[in-house]
Amino acid sequence: MVRLDIFSDPVCPWCYIGKALLDRALEQHPDHPFVVEWQPFQLNPDMPSGGEDRRAYLEAKFGSKINAARAYAQVEVAATAAGVVIDFEQMPRMPNTLNAHRLIHWAGLEGRQSAAMSALFRAYFRDGRDIGEPEVLAAIGGEIGMDREMVARLLASDADLEPIREREAHARGRGINAVPTFIIADQHALQGAQPTELWGRVIEDINRQMTGAAE
């Protein structure tokens, strides 16, 4: 098996799109060699714990309302092509995602990490839920089969806060400064939402190499 580390943030639309494109390739190649591990990366590590008004945040980030609209028009086109639903009108706030990354980590301990990512993406981009709120995160945990009450208790504590921050700092130290970033076998990096066809070629190349090495 080949480890595929994915550095991602659940409020990153390109991460949502990138996951959809990768998932399609994995479905088309059930013999793929990947073991997927989702790694923490906050696009906005200085975001207040309660989040910010999303419109104000985007206008400040892109310099104006027009520039923000232009940037997100490209996202909408890519999302439609990837077959994912993004409803920007349902997203009033830009949350702090540190607690969401804690949930992803705990889900990974139960073998539910990819399910957690899918649920967080849907919750934020499709349903407009505030994934910075502990109550929402605990509910999402319950929806993917985790113990909702346990998740709520963990979120009310400082459990795994520092390890998540340390893992992100390590990623930035390795030169990762944008997401999604895909690291294959701890050697090869791909940045950005990659086409399903490219992932298909990568999978076929790796499988050929593994078959050749075994002969």
Number of domains in the chain: 1
8 A C-beta contact, residue 181 and residue 12: no
Q: What is the pLDDT of residues 26-57, one digit of tens each?
A: 999 999 999 999 999 999 999 999 999 999 99
Confidence band for 110, pLDDT divided at 50, 70 and 90: very high
Residue 96 reports pLDDT greater than 90: yes
Confidence band for 168, pLDDT divided at 50, 70 and 90: very high
Please give the angle made by the CA atoms of 79, 83 and 89, to the nearest 5 degrees. 50
Residue 37 pLDDT: 98
Q: Which residues contact 88 (CB under 8 A, 6 or more apart)?
A: 72, 76
Domain with 206, as residue range(s), is: 2-214
**AA letter at 49:** S
What CATH number does residue 50 fall under?
3.40.30.10
3-state class (DSSP) for residue 36: strand
Question: Whose structure tokens read 């089969």?
Answer: 145
The Cα–Cα gap between 151 and 62 comes to: 35
**AA letter at 17:** I
pLDDT over 70, % of the chain: 99
Q: Based on C-alpha coordinates, what's the Rg of the chain?
A: 18
8 A C-beta contact, residue 33 and residue 2: yes
Residue 194 pLDDT: 98
**AA letter at 192:** G
